[in-house]
Amino acid sequence: MKRRIALFLALVMVLGILFSACGAAGPATSAAPASVKPAESALATPAPKQPVTLKFTYWGSPIEKDAVVKTMANFQKKYPYITVDAQHIPADYETKITTMVAGNTAPDIAYLGEGLAFPWAEEGKIYNILEFLDKDTELKKESFLSNIWYDWAPGKSIGTNTAVEAFAIFYNKELTEKAGVTVPITADTAWTWEQFVEAAQKLTIDGNGKNALDSAFDSKNIKQYGVQFGTWWAGWLWAVYSNGGDYLNADGTEFTLTKPEAVEAIQKMSDLINKYHVCPSPIQSKALPAPTVSLQSKQVAMSIDGQWCLLDLGAADFKFGVGVLPKLKTSITLVLGSPTVIFKSTKYPEEAWLLYKWLANPESSIDLQAGGLWMPLLKDWYTKPELISKWAENNAAHPDGYKDAIMKQTMTNGVPGPSYTIKNFAKIDAIVGAALEQVWLGEKTAKEALDGIADKVKPELKGRYGK
């Protein structure tokens, strides 16, 4: 009996050990896969992003609106968790966006004129774009053209142009060929002022078929003007820069349009109208159609204008060409535009930056680049043949000579306009513009008009941004 009891107890102990081992092994074996599977799943399928809606406001023509709608759709395909509420404001833009900001309903990202952008940046309403660029692994400040930045203080920038624009000569090729005029396309071969005036005289024709070089030319019966320019600041300031002048001095404390270099350049522009009779006056211009139509209808042979006019010229049915601006001392072009900004009030700065980068990429708006309305922001699109071919070649908006006359000139000799740096520019320019109307009408010389407003301008001088 004792032996049976001993055997029974031994058997119980062996079974206990076996069950204990199985019990210990069971959970350990099943727990390992359970702990691995969630980790593997997390690597394969990231947690879904929370839905984000960005409000984006912009201006522009119906063509620009269509392009923006298209690029927003493509953006949302790449970032399906982001919805863009794109609001097109074709008129009274500044008033409407000012109302939004005052009512705490500012957009996340927006086109914005410099007159509002700079003060709002100083008030802390707009992001310093350099904060995003410093952290970005794909894009750096050096990726952009250097002459398109809106810096409100050292190390602080609203950002760049929405797109690049520059000035050049646009002309009707049939008229220039008939007159034996060849418009230069490179900085090295740019017309001197005297050569430019002579070309404009050859292209100015009266009702009797005589040009402005003919002693019998009738300046009161002009059928075709040799050249036309707009009398707003961009239409004449390029000549001041070319002559070594400037709007204000380096720190924005002195009105320098009264200096000899500036006065001479403005007077030369006035002489095109009032001395040589090769350009319509402001009153005569009102009787003409838009500059691009004037070129097509042969009422004007050459137009000094911004490169955005290529959008209309490319769609028109006539042969046109482009050339560099004439030079007084140096060959330059005037660069201008308005910035795109990110508002500090956005709840989604990272997503707003993604949209900002998307808009800055020429590939995203290639229809506007190839169509002639815009030029790219990024340097590579001016230097790499495979990128240049996507927008500046083999299309109606970019004729032979464009790459030299506008694209290269913008990158190498592009001078930023005054609105990039001058504080209170709108008020100052209103005073200047009113005074120069008398110059364009031949009622005063440039010196008389500019000297006459120097005291009015002085109280409005507030310096320059970026200092």
* Spatial contact of 183 and 302, defined as CB atoms under 8 Å apart: yes
Angle at 404 between CA 400 and CA 410, to 5 degrees: 130
In 3D space, the residue among 249, 257, 268, 248 whose CA is nearest the CA of residue 327 turns out to be 268
Please report the pLDDT score of residue 19 as a whole number.
Answer: 38
Measured between alpha carbons, how far is residue 1 from residues 4, 5, 8 in Å?
5, 6, 10
In 3D space, the residue among 337, 338, 336, 309 whose CA is nearest the CA of residue 398 turns out to be 309
Domain 166-336+423-460 matching CATH 3.30.43.10: the answer reads no
Domain boundaries, the chain: 52-164+337-360, 166-336+423-460
Please report the pLDDT score of residue 417 as a whole number.
Answer: 97
Please report the pLDDT score of residue 46 as a whole number.
Answer: 53
- Among left, alpha and beta (phi > 0; psi -120 to 50; other), residue 466 is left
pLDDT tens per residue, range 11-50: 334 334 333 443 433 333 333 333 333 333 334 445 668 9
> DSSP letter string over 49-86?
PPPEEEEEEE---HHHHHHHHHHHHHHHHHSTTEEEEE
Handedness of CA 445, 446, 449, 451 (dihedral sign): negative
* CA–CA separation, 446 and 32 (whole Å): 88
Q: Where are the beta strands (DSSP E) in 363-427?
A: 414-416
Please report the pLDDT score of residue 15 as a whole number.
Answer: 38
| pTM greater than 0.85 | yes
* CA–CA separation, 173 and 183 (whole Å): 9
In 3D space, the residue among 399, 414, 365, 362 whose CA is nearest the CA of residue 384 turns out to be 362
* CA–CA separation, 425 and 280 (whole Å): 27
52-164+337-360 with 166-336+423-460: one CATH topology?
A: yes
* Spatial contact of 303 and 227, defined as CB atoms under 8 Å apart: yes
- The residue ranges of the chain whose pLDDT is under 70 are 1-48
Please report the pLDDT score of residue 33 as a whole number.
Answer: 35
pLDDT tens per residue, range 198-235: 999 999 999 999 999 999 999 999 999 999 999 999 99
CATH class of 52-164+337-360: alpha beta
* CA–CA separation, 394 and 83 (whole Å): 35
221's tokens: 């019966």
* Spatial contact of 362 and 377, defined as CB atoms under 8 Å apart: yes
